[in-house]
Structure 1
Amino acid sequence: MVKARKFVIKQAFNGVPKKEDFEIVEYELPPLKDNEILIKSEWIGVDPYHRGGAHLQTVPYDQFGYQVGVVVQSKNLKYPRGTKVVSFEGWCTYFILNPNLPSRHQFFYDSIYKLPDLQGLPDSLGVGAIGMPGVTAYFGFLEYCKPVAGETVVVTGAAGAVGSLVGQIAKIKGCKVIGFAGSDEKVKWLETELGFDKAINYKTADVYKALKEAAPEGVNCYFDNVGGEISSAIISQMRLRGRVTVCGSISAYNEKDLFDYSTLPKATIIQPFVLANQLKVRGFGYLYVGFSRWSEAFNELTKWIKSGQLKAPEHVTEGFDNLYDAFVGMLAGENFGKSVVKV
């Protein structure tokens, strides 16, 4: 018997998740059945959607999420021992899957897929730049915003897993890039390390005035990870036929009920600007892209990273027991790039 451990959310979050909302449960896994594989977790990603997705769950529930693992026992010929895999099994040390069966998770296309050929890059990128965040940045920006060289692109949550990639992809495509982040350290990092043309600390700057100065002719593309008043200020400065990708709403994730209009914070209306400038505003999630197309993004992102055109920054936390700390630290903005835990 193999002993496993997992994080269970035992009570609904009220505001910022608290340590007492979680419980680490130890249990024994049964022997493998035909077509099943036993996987040992190696890297677990922590992302804002873990908080946003909590609004759709009923407690208690196992903490979901992407992770990279290795097959340590197998009764499935397609997944021999030693195979590296990506799954949506979340915060656990070991687990059993039958890859022939559909996923039981509403956020995941399949129960498991083999880790892409990373060409010598770290396996951890399988939950980052060459995983779900990379797919989100690649398709959400290129297919929804449809950038053109010379255009001005704005990204909120610019120092996070998705935003940091979007800004760099925009530079690869020849755009001027302005990023918003929550500290002076991140502002400097975006400009000096990732090559953003301008970064702005939204906590200390007047967002409207700072953007007016940074982009006096207006904004063509806006990749929105945050929502709220900052988004209203940015959308009010969009140019004719501007494009907006709404990818996240981090500003509201800690509200009591993300989908209860009466309890959510209010922001300045954007309809006059959407109408006057004929803006295209579309919501985007990685599930909107057929899984068969993910390899397209993986191949291009790997090429860019290998060539040095794209950096894949990671904020690494060591130890399974420290997953909670990594999670709330990410929600508080402590991470530079993708937050990932080495199990």
Structure 2
Amino acid sequence: MAKRPVGRADDSTWEITTEPIPEPGDGEFVVRVEYISLDPAMRGWIGEVPTYVEPVEIGAVMRAHAVGRVHASRHPEYEVGQTVSGMFGVCEYAVSDGRHDVLHVDESLAPAPAWLGALGFPGLTAYFGLLDVGKMKPGDTVLISGAAGAVGSIAGQIAKLSGCRVIGVAGGPEKCAWLTEELGYDVAIDYKAGSIGKALRAAAPKGIDVYFDNVGGEVLESALGHLRRGARIALCGGISSYNATDPQPGPSRYMQLLMKRASLTGFIVFDFARRYPEAYAALGHWIRRGDVVTHEQVETGGIEAYGRTMNMLFDGANTGKLVLQVGDGLASAAPAAAQAASS
């Protein structure tokens, strides 16, 4: 790590290192990474202040969920050639003992990048955030911000499958058209086109029952002003303020929670770790039937492109799940050394 970023991360935040490909010890296996997940939470992971996990240490490989193939193994449950997903980091090769949420990937169900999106933490987050935290039920009016992102795009489809009226907030006419025409959203609000509050009043004149918040800021303010009695807000993220250099003010309409007997509950997907199999089964069933559409925006450029690709999240430059492909050379014989992005 050259330095922790102040505000937006840039090229000086990262250092590319080259070192020998690791050898597995007893009970370990080596993964040749093929796809790396890009998530807004990464910005929090590289800050000075601990979030729900400790900050990535200076000089350490950047934390990241990834998919790859087993390259070498001394572990009885992981054979060479198998596809797996896990928190392998921003690197070309990683060592694992299989203990920390490593999953065997079924590419007959969905392609490998989808196991970082709909069948990865974004899909799990959408599932538990709506059903457990938001307590969504048939007939609810559900509002989702960041609706064209990795989590929001899955959340909207789950809400429709549950018999809800679904409103999404996204940036730009193309994303809004994608929400309504391909994902089945009832209404899409373009936050770049004018007043969110006015558009929300038109879309939900009787108010909203569930708000799945990925953004915070202005959209949260508007949502608070349009709650129905007993509404539930599932606070998933606040991407609008992740690069802010000063503390951001809380919502001024928070008293609406009192007036409408509503709730606002923050959650982290890791809170539901014991129930991951339940969510995987449901999401896999919906994908197999075609009820949930997966969409991965795969960027190329390898490890060197990691910093640029991560910042696409904060420019609104992605639709669906943003994934970095780690280079064509991984499909050939192993090179003499491997690279890693250090935070």
Are 1:279 and 2:278 matched, yes or no?
A: no
Separation of aligned partners in 2, 1:264 and 1:188 = 34
Gaps of 5+ in 1: 1-8, 100-109, 257-262
Partner secondary structure for residue 39 of structure 1: strand
Alignment gaps of 5+ in structure 2? 327-343
The reply on whether 1:130 has 2:122 as its aligned counterpart is: no
Farther off after superposition, 218-227 or 323-332: 323-332
Secondary structure at the counterpart of residue 69 of structure 1: strand
Quickly say closer, same or farther: Cα 1:250–1:222, change in 2 above 3 A: same
Q: Distance in 1 between matches of 2:282 and 2:323?
A: 22
| More off after superposition, 37-46 vs 47-56 | 47-56
Give 1:228-267 correspondences, 5 Å limit: 228-256=217-245, 263-267=246-250
1:325-340 → structure 2 map (5 Å cutoff): 325-340=308-323
> Of residues 208, 211, 227 in structure 2, which corresponds to 1:222?
211
**1:144-183 alignment to 2 at 5 Å?**
144-183=133-172
Which one is further off, 230-239 or 56-65? 56-65
In the alignment, does 2:275 pair up with 1:293? yes
Task: Spell out structure 1 runs of 4+ moving beyond 6 A.
Answer: none
The separation in 2 between residues aligned to 1:322 and 1:85, in whole angstroms, is 23
Q: Give me the whole-angstrom Cα distance separating, in 2, the residues matched to 1:71 and 1:324.
A: 26
- Percentage identity across paired residues of the two chains: 36
Q: CA deviation at 1:295?
A: 1.5
- Check whether the contact 2:66–2:89 (CA below 8 A) recurs between aligned residues: yes
Please state whether the residue corresponding to 1:143 is helix, strand or coil. Answer: helix
Contact 1:85 1:112 in 2 (8 A): no
CA separation of 1:128/1:51 partners in 2, compared to 1, >3 Å: closer, same or farther?
same
Aligned pairs, number: 318
Task: Report 1:65-84 matches (<5 A).
Answer: 65-84=64-83
Candidates 8, 16, 34, aligned match of 1:24? 16
Give, in angstroms, the shift of residue 188 of structure 1.
Answer: 1.4
Letter paired with 1:226: V
CA 1:76–1:296: 2 relative to 1, 3 Å:
same
Look up the SS of the partner of 2:154 in the other structure: helix
Shift of the 158–27 alpha-carbon distance from structure 1 to 2, 3 Å rule, reads same
Question: 1:240 and 1:97 mapped to 2: Cα distance?
Answer: 48
* Higher-RCO chain (CA-CA 8 Å, sequence separation at least 6): 2
- CA deviation map 1:245-303 (0-9, x unaligned): 000011110023xxxxxx3232542332100111021101111102x311211111111
Q: Deviations over 1:65-112 (max 9, x none)?
A: 10011111111112121222212121100022233xxxxxxxxxx435
Indicate yes or no: 2:84 matched with 1:85: yes
> Is 2:294 aligned against 1:312?
yes
5 Å-filtered alignment, 1:198-209, equals 198-209=187-198
Pair 1:197 & 2:197 matched: no
The answer to whether the Cα contact below 8 Å between 2:31 and 2:70 also exists between their aligned partners in 1 is: yes
Corresponding residue for 2:330?
none
TM-fit CA distance, 1:189: 1.3
